[in-house]
Every structure is written in C-alpha cells, then in structure tokens.
C-alpha cells in the first residue's frame, strides 16, 4: 500500500505554490489555470519521503470546483489543510475540511502559508482561530507549520511533518480479490491512445490484465502502467497511477467511471445508507429531498428516502435509502458526500450499508435494526442479493457471481442462515438458497390459492402438490427442494401435507346434515357387507342426491376411510387393516400364503379374494410364485 497526500483549503491560499516548493512541480497544467492563476482541476505530483515516492494531489479551492476537489479526495490518506496567514479560515476552508472528515481521512498537517504577508500578531491570531475551528477533530493536536516564499527551509519542516505521518500509517489493507479504481481523468496521447488516472484500490494490477468499465460491460486490456511518471509492470493498492488502455476511446471512459476486475462489481440505483448531517446546516433534511451524491469521482443526483426519522436536523444521523438517477457501483463501507442540490454546498456524509438495496417502506423496524451496526458488514448486502435472486432458486456459485465484489461470502452466508434470514435447501449434490421475505411472499400466494380451493371444494382434503408447485413456485425448482419448503411451512403450522395433497393448517372438512347422513349410510353399508363390499351403483340407490354422494364418497377415499382395491372395489379402513394383518401373519417365517388359508380367515367369495391378494402384490406386501405368495422382505 502506498500513501497519497492531498491538499484542502480556500482559493488562493497557496496550495499549488506549496506543492511546487515541496516537489518542484507546477500542478496547474491547464492553459486556463495559468491564465487565471487558480486551480480549476486536479493536479498531481509526488514527493520522496524516507526513500518512498508518495503521491500528492492538488485540489482546486474555488467553490465552483468543489466537485473536482471531491474527485481528488478519493483515496487520500493524509491531508494538508492549507490556510493563508493573511486571510485566515475562509468558507472553502470549512467546506473542504468537512469533506475531508466525512471521507474518513484521519491524518493531516496544518500548513499556514503566506506568512511573509502577515504580521506576527496576525499569525498568532490565525493560529488561535485554527485551534478553535479544529477542536475535537482529528487535527485537534496536530502541529501547525508556518511557510513563506522567503524562507525555503520552512518547506523542509512540512516535509518532516509529512514524513512522520507516513511512518505512523500502517498498512491495514487486507488482500482483496478485486481491483477497482475511480477514474478522475481520461485523455488521449498520440501514439498511445486512452490514458486514465486515479488511485488504485484492492488487489495488485499488472500489464496485460483486463479491466471492465463500470457502469457497462465493456472491457479493455492494460497496455501500460505508470506510477509517478515511471513505467511499471505491476501496481499495488493505494497508488496514484496512469493506465494506458487498448481498444477504448477517451469518450468511452470519463471522470466518474470505475474500472475493475471483470464481472466483479454490481451496478445499483438504490442503496441503504447511514447519513451524518452536518451540525453547520441551518435547514432540516426532508424526506424525498433531491440532493447531489458524490461517491468516488462521480456525482449523481438522487432523492433521499428517510427510513427512521421524519426529517434530519443539524447534527443528526439517520438511516435512509438513496434513490439514484443514474447507475453507480459501490461497496459496503464506502463513504460519500451529500451536497445541496441548489445552491451547492456540502450538507453531510454517507456510509454505504447496502449498495444493492431493495425497495423498502419507511419506519420498517426490521430493516432499521438490520442496518444498525451494518458498516463493513457484507451480510446486509448479501441478504438483499439473495432476496433478489430467490425467484431463480440460486446456488452458492450463482450468488457469489452476482455478489459484486468477489469477496468471500461463506461467513456472512452462515450468519444469515443461523439468523433464519436465508433458508438453505439441499437436493442431491446441489444446495440452493432462498430469502425469508421471498418465502413469506410465496406463503401468502399459497394460502390465497388454498383458501380459494377450500371455498370451492369444501369436501376435498386439499390441492395437489404439483399444481401448487407450478402455480406458486416454479417448474425450475427441484421437487426435493420444493418438498423441503412444504415441510418447513408444515413445521411452522402454516399448511398440512397429506400424501400429495396440501391444505391450510387449521382446515377441517365440514359436512352438511344431509352429507352427514350420506356418510353414515356409506359406513353402515360397508360395515354390514364386510369383505363383500358394495358397488358404487348400490350406494346410489340409498342416497337421494347423487352429487352429494360422489362428493362424500370421494372425501372418504381421500381421507383413507375407504381403501381402494381395484376398479369398483373398496374396503372399509378397519376391514382393510385387518386384511393386511392376516396376510402378514400367514406369511411369517417365510411361509407360503395360499388363497384357501386367507379364505379361512375372512368370509368372502373367490372373486374378492383374488382382488385382495392381487392388490397386496401391487403395493409390494406380497410376491406371487405360481399359485402361492410370500411376503416381500
């Protein structure tokens, strides 16, 4: 990891002159900058500190170019807060410092310039002003270095202070699987093609690698890399660099674009964030307010949906969704800046909690609780991703591919499963995952269909599982996974599953008085006939309403009160169970089961005996060998 230093401060406070005296490089490169004597865009240089090249970014101080300043602030590790001795703290001093704090920069030096243009009394006055302004900030205890053009040694003091900070900054960057860089400049060089610049993040980069341009799916090959004007073959994280891309025009990639490892990022137009609203604001932040969002080197107009408050007052923090007008790529934990839409001024900072949010209602307690403590917690982003993918019943690899950062998702996935936010379903050698919110939606659909089914078919146990699968879920889901879902819903007492039929958990068949009479007639007739059961036509002579007879008869079959043997032959449940017991007793210890032996146990004709034994063969209880049978072990 390399160190990047950036300037901050009001216009004409000597930032560019300071860098020129530190590095010997004039970072005002544009003709208009030379003509007007002010910095309009970003300037770049480097400084040798302790034998290491440290990148320096010079940012413009004019309020019209604050968005350029923010583009340069991306990736800065150390800030030089530049304040002129004659002017003291000015509006852009405050705004730049607000931005620096909101972007999470923790190291810095205060440089008082133009000391040759101010009296000693004025310098002391400005120092006191600075001390009061910076109280409680990360620059609270920092040293203030006085510089002037007529004292060259004063710049050595600045170098010394910066060098001490460079030594204290430890490389806390963990190895990443993804390279990404926010582009702050794009231009063409004759004979080379398109060049982009920025500060590298994530894994190392090397010549020949492919980079994808986001938003979009276009890729380009790296032709060359420069770090501080020197060509290199590889580049580590945290470095200022210029990358020469092959096969892409400068119009195809602009400030605000992101280049990254192909297929590693996901674009979004909706993200969950935490907002820190500056205490200097004199107006409240309203729900649905239109603002400017700065992330990386990009500025996007968006609307704010406040999730946990009606409005944000000065100094407040709160959770919100940013509804973006253009696509953006971001990681959990990324920081951004909010500016008022018009007139433009900085109003607060943003921490991205979930860059791939789903549309949510305001004051959703579950969501707000989830977002609390969500900084750098990829489980929130992963949860949203799985919810979005659930209709496709994704595998682990499909989730990983769509996650958008190629980071290890094993632990956050385990956390979601343990918290029952995600359901893990295993079928054969493949595991799929669905989100609890998706299952809740499907549960609502399922209950609605079952309610309609029960209303239309009050004497039927329930709807067929295959029908419900096709109507509510999908033919894509494997049957074992589908049965796992039904089993979970049954455990949760949402539904009941009876063989291949599904009903609402508390559903009970209720017969009318006439239907109860028909049921009693059927039971009495079968009980009286025993193992010489009646045919359906015989029952129809006993019931006045043929429609009710069929409904009640079918219900009794589905409930198992009548057991199907073959064609028009059914047995009463108790008689059927006794028959199976007799057959099992006769076949114990490998004994042959003969028709006369069964006939000796039950009173019936040969016609029915043959039907009963053939049924026993069909259901796998017995196996026929010539004219006898044995039990299937």
Q: Exposed, middle or buried, 108 (CB in 10 Å: 0-12/13-18/19+)?
A: buried
Percentage above 70 pLDDT, the chain: 91
Return d(Cα 597, Cα 33) in angstroms, integer.
112
Q: Where are the domains of the chain?
A: 4-168, 179-260, 267-371, 378-510, 514-631
Residue 441's pLDDT is 93
Q: Taking CA 9 as the corner, what is the angle to CA 7 and CA 15, rounded to the nearest 5 degrees? A: 55
Residue 32's pLDDT is 41
Mean per-residue pLDDT for 347-359?
89
Mean per-residue pLDDT for 424-440?
87
Return d(Cα 25, Cα 601) in angstroms, integer.
111
Q: Does domain 4-168 have CATH number 3.20.20.100?
A: no
Selection from 279-283, 371-375, 543-547, 555-559 with the highest mean pLDDT: 279-283
206 pLDDT more than 90: yes
Query: Predicted confidence band at 34 (pLDDT cuts at 50, 70, 90)?
Result: very low
Query: Are the beta carbons of 481 and 474 closer than 8 angstroms?
Result: no
Residue 406's pLDDT is 54
**pTM, entire model:** 0.65
Q: What confidence tens digit (pLDDT) does each residue in 483-503 have? A: 899 999 999 999 999 888 999
Q: What confidence tens digit (pLDDT) does each residue in 574-628 have? A: 999 999 999 999 999 889 999 999 999 999 999 999 999 999 999 999 999 988 9
Q: How many C-beta neighbours within 10 Å does residue 434 have? A: 24
Query: Which has the closest alpha carbon to 356: 374, 373, 343?
Result: 374
Q: Exposed, middle or buried, 510 (CB in 10 Å: 0-12/13-18/19+)?
A: exposed
Among the ranges given (49-53, 463-467, 470-474), the one the predictor scored with the smallest mean pLDDT? 49-53
Return d(Cα 520, Cα 528) in angstroms, integer.
12
Tokens read off for 565: 């043997």
Mean per-residue pLDDT for 125-149?
92
Higher pLDDT, 486 or 6: 486
Query: Which has the closest alpha carbon to 575: 602, 539, 545, 593?
Result: 602
Tokens read off for 351: 């921490």
Mean per-residue pLDDT for 567-575?
94
Q: Tokens 């939606």 correspond to what residue? A: 441
Tokens read off for 490: 């049954």
The interaxial angle of helices 15-23 and 153-168, nearest 10 deg, is 90
Query: Predicted confidence band at 405 (pLDDT cuts at 50, 70, 90)?
Result: low
49 pLDDT more than 60: yes
Residue 322's pLDDT is 97
Q: Which CATH class is domain 179-260?
A: mainly beta
Distances from the Cα of 289 to the Cα of 4, 63, 276, 305, 350, angstroms: 34, 22, 15, 8, 15
Query: Are the beta carbons of 500 and 464 closer than 8 angstroms?
Result: yes
Query: Predicted confidence band at 66 (pLDDT cuts at 50, 70, 90)?
Result: very low
Q: How many C-beta neighbours within 10 Å does residue 531 have? A: 20
Tokens read off for 469: 């699968």
Please state the separation of Cα 82 from the chain's center in Å: 40
Mean per-residue pLDDT for 458-475?
89
Q: List all residues 6 or more positions away from 452 whose beta carbon is below 8 Å from its beta carbon.
A: none
Q: Taking CA 81 as the corner, what is the angle to CA 236 and CA 298, rounded to the nearest 5 degrees? A: 55
174 pLDDT more than 80: no
Please, which residues bridge with residue 628 across strands? Answer: 625
Q: What confidence tens digit (pLDDT) does each residue in 302-311 have? A: 999 999 999 9
Q: List all residues 6 or more positions away from 19 whose beta carbon is below 8 Å from its beta carbon.
A: 7, 25, 27, 43, 45, 56, 58
Query: Domain 267-371: what homologous superfamily?
Result: Translation factors (2.40.30.10)
CATH topology of domain 514-631: Arc Repressor Mutant, subunit A (1.10.10)
End-to-end CA gap in the chain: 71
Residues in the chain: 633
As its CATH architecture, domain 378-510 has Orthogonal Bundle (1.10)
Same fold, 179-260 and 267-371: yes
Mean per-residue pLDDT for 105-115?
92
Could you give the maximum distance between any two Cα atoms of the chain, in Å?
A: 127
189: helix, strand or coil: strand
Query: Predicted confidence band at 548 (pLDDT cuts at 50, 70, 90)?
Result: confident
């Amino acid at each position: 990891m390399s160190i990047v230093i950036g300037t901050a401060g009001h216009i004409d406070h000597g930032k560019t002159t300071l860098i020129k005296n530190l590095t010997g490089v004039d970072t005002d490169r544009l003709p208009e900058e030379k003509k007007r004597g002010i910095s309009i865009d970003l300037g770049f240089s480097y400084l040798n500190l302790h034998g290491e090249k440290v990148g320096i970014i010079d940012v413009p101080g004019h309020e019209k170019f604050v968005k350029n300043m923010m583009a340069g602030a991306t990736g800065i590790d150390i800030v030089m807060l530049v304040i002129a001795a004659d002017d003291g703290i000015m509006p852009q001093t405050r705004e730049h410092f607000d931005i620096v704090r909101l972007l999470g920069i923790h190291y810095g030096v205060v440089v008082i310039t133009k000391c040759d243009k101010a009296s000693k009394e004025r310098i002391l006055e400005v120092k006191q002003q600075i001390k009061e302004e910076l109280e409680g900030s990360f620059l609270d205890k920092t040293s203030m270095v006085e510089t002037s053009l007529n004292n060259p040694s004063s710049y050595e003091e600045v170098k010394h202070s910066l060098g001490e900070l460079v030594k204290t900054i430890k490389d806390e960057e963990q190895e990443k699987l993804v390279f990404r860089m926010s582009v702050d400049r794009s231009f063409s060089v004759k004979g080379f093609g398109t060049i982009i610049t920025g500060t590298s993040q994530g894994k190392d980069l090397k010549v020949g690698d492919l980079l994808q341009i986001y938003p979009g799916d276009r890729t380009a090959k790296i032709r060359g890399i420069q770090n501080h004007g020197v060509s290199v073959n590889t580049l580590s994280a945290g470095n200022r660099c210029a990358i020469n891309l092959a096969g892409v025009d400068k119009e195809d990639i602009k400030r605000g674009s992101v280049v990254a490892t192909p297929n590693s990022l996901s674009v979004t137009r909706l993200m969950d964030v935490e907002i820190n609203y500056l205490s200097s604001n004199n107006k409240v932040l309203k729900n649905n307010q239109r603002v400017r969002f700065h992330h990386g080197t990009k500025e996007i107009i968006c609307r704010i949906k406040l999730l946990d408050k009606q409005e944000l007052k000065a100094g407040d923090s709160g959770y919100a969704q940013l509804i973006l007008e253009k696509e953006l790529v971001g990681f959990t934990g990324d920081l951004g800046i909010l500016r008022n839409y018009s007139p433009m001024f900085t109003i607060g900072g943003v921490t991205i909690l979930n860059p791939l949010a789903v549309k949510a209602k305001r004051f959703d307690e579950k969501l707000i609780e989830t977002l609390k403590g969500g900084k750098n917690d990829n489980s929130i982003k992963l949860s949203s991703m799985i919810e979005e993918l659930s209709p496709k019943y994704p595998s682990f690899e499909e989730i990983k591919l769509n996650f958008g950062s190629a980071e290890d998702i094993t632990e956050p996935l385990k956390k979601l499963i343990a918290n029952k936010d995600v359901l893990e379903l295993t079928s054969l050698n493949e595991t799929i995952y669905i989100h609890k919110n998706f299952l809740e939606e499907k549960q609502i659909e399922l209950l609605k269909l079952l309610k309609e089914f029960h209303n239309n078919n009050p004497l039927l146990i329930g709807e067929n599982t295959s029908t419900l699968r096709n109507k509510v879920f999908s033919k894509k889901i494997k049957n074992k996974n589908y049965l796992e879902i039904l089993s979970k819903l049954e455990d949760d007492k949402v539904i009941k599953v009876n063989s291949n039929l599904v009903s609402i958990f508390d559903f009970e068949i209720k017969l009318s008085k006439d239907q109860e009479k028909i049921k009693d007639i059927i039971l009495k007739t079968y009980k009286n006939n025993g193992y010489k059961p009646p045919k359906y036509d015989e029952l129809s002579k006993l019931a006045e309403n043929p429609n009710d007879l069929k409904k009640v008869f079918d219900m009794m079959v589905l409930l198992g009160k009548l057991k199907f043997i073959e064609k028009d032959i059914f047995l009463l449940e108790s008689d059927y169970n006794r028959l199976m017991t007799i057959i099992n007793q006769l076949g114990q210890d490998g004994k042959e089961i003969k028709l006369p032996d069964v006939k000796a146990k039950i009173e019936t004709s040969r016609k029915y005996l043959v039907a009963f034994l053939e049924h026993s063969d069909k259901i796998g209880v017995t196996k026929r060998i010539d004219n006898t049978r044995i039990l299937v072990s």
